[in-house]
Structure 1
Amino acid sequence: VSPFNDATTSYFHRSVGGYHGAKLARYQDLIDRYLNDLDDGVLDMLNTRYLIVPGDDGQPEAVRRPSPNGAAWFVDRIVAGDTPQQEIDLLGETDLKTTAVVGSRDRGEAEKTLPARAEGDSTAVRTIALTEYRPNYLKYEYSSPEEAVAVFSEIYYDRGWTAWVDGEQAPAFRADYVLRAMRLPAGRHTVEWRFRAPRWEAVEGVTLACSLLILLGAAAALIHCFRKKKETSHEG
């Protein structure tokens, strides 16, 4: 089946394909420009671990890819594109394992100098790992001897998603055309991504008010029935 017009795989696994009638335009750009051609660099940044291909007997077979970037990774350099077209072009010209591509609105992040790292210096080892995953919540543990930029293999969507470091909300930006990125402080810390629908507090307020009205209505109905039954028994 076409991976981008069928949702079967996505029902069972996290998938770079799937189907929705209202795809994000940037992700559709990525499909048209890179994913249809199985571009290794873009598949790696999306942490694609397997491809389903025809096997020797013609039946579908899952083949392990050797080079996915992982759920998150640190980069040593940032490059910026002045336009969305330049951003998407840079994906095919950049080593996305070591460099993050950002757009013009995030140029401020691009202009900050990343700390120089001594090659082969064991004290400069950085690690970051996904430790908890739910559709509306992701948790990462990381360690870095210096301030660093991390890219997360999750689609950037700022309407509801917020980033937190050790329980305090922190700024995030879009990188690699469709992914999330953050500048993280040195040391050992916890990063969380939380999703809460916009205006959720208002929805909760309306729901609470409606629930209270229903309960009050039910209580009033019970009181009315009790009084009516009591009056009937007195008349008898």
Structure 2
Amino acid sequence: MPTTTPLEAVTPAARCPGAERILAAARTLFAQRGLSGVSIQQIADAAEVSKANVFHHFATKQALYRAVLEEAAEEFRQLLATLSSQTTASGLSEFSLRHLIQLLQDPGTTWLFLRALSDPQPTTQRRLAEEIASEVMMAVISAIDELRNAHVVPRQSETTTLAMTLLGANLFYFQLHNILPKLGDHPALRTPQAFTRSVTQLLVGAAHPDSAPLKKAKP
């Protein structure tokens, strides 16, 4: 994999309404076609601005792609802040539920990352996505490690595996949610709430068989 090089910064003007339209258009197009499948002109047309205006806010297409990923990651960081404040297993279940709902309500962003991370070639889009995903994943692991120190999750648990299983289960649910009704009437698959509660109980409650059941997570 190529070494990471400094990436072009987004100019301060990137917070203005025109730049926000560019980011929104770019997020949709990148999710549909990937970095290499979208031109600056196509983004400009979708945002109803000139090509020069795009370059006024973002030095290169790679800088724009990075800004799109950062914007999406910031939404997850805000969600992650709720996990850091949890002190119970039901709080972990609630975080998992909110994460799954975020995936389902914003499929474009979810596919944006999945497309980039699944690229078999060491492309720029994969490198950028891996940088963002690694940083976010480390934050999740750190938050769950704090829960382990607070005895919310078993001290013998391997927090990296727990974090990957928790988030991975949600991603798999997202990818298969349209076919879940065909799998039969399984209580754990009826709703996102039931699914995340079941997964959290499996990961946390199984190690504490005498513990009280998890409280129902809030939607």
TM-score bucket (shorter structure): under 0.3
Larger strand share, 1 or 2:
1
Larger radius of gyration: 1
**Normalized against structure 1, the TM-score is what?**
0.22
> Whose RCO is larger (CA < 8 A, sep 6+)?
2
Larger helix share, 1 or 2:
2
